[in-house]
Amino acid sequence: MNFELSPEITAMCEAVTGFAQRDLTGPDSFEPIDFRRRWELAGKQGILGATVPTQYGGSGLDAVAAVALMEALGSGCADTGFAFSAAAHLFACLMPITEFGTEEQCRHWLPRLCSGELVAAHAITEAEAGSDIFNMSARAVRDGDHYVLNGTKVFTTNAPIADVFLVQAVTSPGSGFFGVTAFLIGAATPGLRVGPPYAKIGLRGSPTAEVHFADCRVPADCVLGGEGAGASVFTGSMKWERTCLFGIYLGAMRRVLDSTIVYAGERVQFGSPIGEFQAVSHRIVDMLARLESAALLLNKAAVELSRGGNCEVSAGLAKIAVSEAAVQIGLDAIQLRGALGVTAGDAETLLRDAVPSRIFSGTNEIQKNNVARALGLGRKRR
């Protein structure tokens, strides 16, 4: 496969890296006013709607270009949490609307979501329905031309600042895959309440919270993809998220690897730069090998997605490879810096931000289950 990018995409990525370095890096915490300021800038730059068709305000990029764009964003934006929020907004929310929304829904929501005027959040995970997603307890009952939603979602990215929620709820208990329905619900809808932001080990610049629904009445025309299509909407969102979002980590790893190489060339011990010692240089080579291997797997998945293929295996393998590489490169970068590695800096930040990547978008153990099932192995889905 040819992973060489066109001159136009290459120039776009260079511009995004410079823009992110200049305008998107913020505090290692969530501050609503500053988050909105940077969010609107990211929208004007075209990041928030990168893969959305141009007729709805996006840039119409394919998955290969999207991975390159996310890598550029991750490289330039030291606040990986903010970059993660932008990617979750685009791939877990806007792409499902693009693929499953009616023309009216697309025209109503997408232009303002692409421009940065609005923020989206995908609410699906529950306390007892994480990996076992079809065990969710949230219910939506039809009542005339409305649905009434009740339940609680947890670990919802962007919830504290979201203007619209893509929500999954059971409409037909016992029907499994076809018993779940997706809804587009405005944040101001009565009966919808967002809890306080979580304190997290990493991705602190990305606000995450619980979302509560108490007799929340939603018009029937807010259903996305039709009743019973919620699982398909979720599967579609994960296809994009598992493939494209992880480009952010490629960029973050490359940024930290570059700074580690510089450090190894400048730090002198026993009369020589530590990069001259094999124990150091070989570890850096291992870091590069992990990064490049993960990048190849991720780009392979992006090519398959761009071609409309079934990328379940390639996306699962790529998600595992990128997340595990990010954690190990974070550990290596800290180790090579010695005591400086455990103080505030890009190495310890990468490690903190990398740890959640093995969990979100489906844990790495679940990815292995998915790949094994695609190979005809493992337990069958009920």
Length of the chain: 382
Token pair 């790949």 is at which residue? 371
**Tell me, what's the pLDDT at 130?**
78
Residue spans in the chain of domains classed CATH 1.10.540.10 = 7-119
CB 130 within 8 A of CB 161: no
pTM of this prediction exceeds 0.75: yes
Measured CA to CA, the distance from residue 100 to residue 98 in angstroms comes to 6
Percent of the chain with pLDDT over 90: 88
Tens digit of pLDDT for each residue in 118-162? 999 999 999 988 777 778 999 999 999 999 999 999 999 999 999
Within 8 A by CB and 6+ apart from 8, the residues are none
Strand partners for 14: none
Measured CA to CA, the distance from residue 221 to residue 230 in angstroms comes to 14
pLDDT beyond 90 at 320: yes
Measured CA to CA, the distance from residue 338 to residue 269 in angstroms comes to 12
pLDDT beyond 90 at 289: yes
User: Taken in order 14, 19, 22, 25, is the CA torsion positive or negative?
Assistant: negative
pLDDT beyond 70 at 176: yes
pLDDT beyond 90 at 379: no
Token pair belonging to 330: 């974070």
Strand partners for 168: 182
**Tell me, what's the pLDDT at 310?**
77
CB 323 within 8 A of CB 241: no
Measured CA to CA, the distance from residue 330 to residue 290 in angstroms comes to 12
Tens digit of pLDDT for each residue in 323-371? 999 999 999 999 999 999 999 899 999 999 999 999 999 999 999 998 9
Token pair belonging to 130: 């994480």
Nearest Cα to Cα of residue 243 among 93, 361, 96, 350: 361
pLDDT beyond 70 at 25: yes
Q: What H or E segment, with its residue span, contains residue 23?
A: helix 7-23
Percent of the chain with pLDDT over 70: 98
Cα dist from 364 to 66, 323, 327, 381, whole Å: 22, 8, 13, 18
C-alpha gyration radius of the chain: 21
Measured CA to CA, the distance from residue 113 to residue 115 in angstroms comes to 6
Measured CA to CA, the distance from residue 301 to residue 312 in angstroms comes to 8
CB 56 within 8 A of CB 180: no
- The number of beta carbons lying within 10 Å of the beta carbon of residue 331 is 16
Confidence of residue 175 (pLDDT cuts 50, 70, 90): confident
User: Taken in order 321, 326, 331, 337, is the CA torsion positive or negative?
Assistant: positive
**Tell me, what's the pLDDT at 28?**
77
Token pair belonging to 11: 């120039």
**Tell me, what's the pLDDT at 311?**
81
- Look up the CATH superfamily of 121-229: Butyryl-CoA Dehydrogenase, subunit A, domain 2 (2.40.110.10)
**Tell me, what's the pLDDT at 309?**
78
**What fold characterizes domain 246-374?**
Butyryl-CoA Dehydrogenase, subunit A; domain 3 (1.20.140)
pLDDT beyond 80 at 171: yes
Residue spans in the chain of domains classed CATH 2.40.110.10 = 121-229
Within the chain, strands assigned E span 120-123, 139-143, 146-157, 164-170, 180-186, 192-194, 208-219, 223-224, 268-269, 272-273
Q: What is the mean pLDDT of residues 259-271?
A: 97
Measured CA to CA, the distance from residue 61 to residue 217 in angstroms comes to 36
Q: Which one has a higher pLDDT value, 4 or 44?
A: 44
3-state DSSP assignment of residue 179 = helix
Confidence of residue 27 (pLDDT cuts 50, 70, 90): confident
Tens digit of pLDDT for each residue in 97-117? 999 999 999 999 999 999 999
Residue spans in the chain of domains classed CATH 1.20.140.10 = 246-374
**Residues forming the active site:** 241
Confidence of residue 1 (pLDDT cuts 50, 70, 90): low
What average pLDDT does the structure give for the chain? 94
Measured CA to CA, the distance from residue 254 to residue 374 in angstroms comes to 31
**What fold characterizes domain 7-119?**
Butyryl-Coa Dehydrogenase, subunit A; domain 1 (1.10.540)
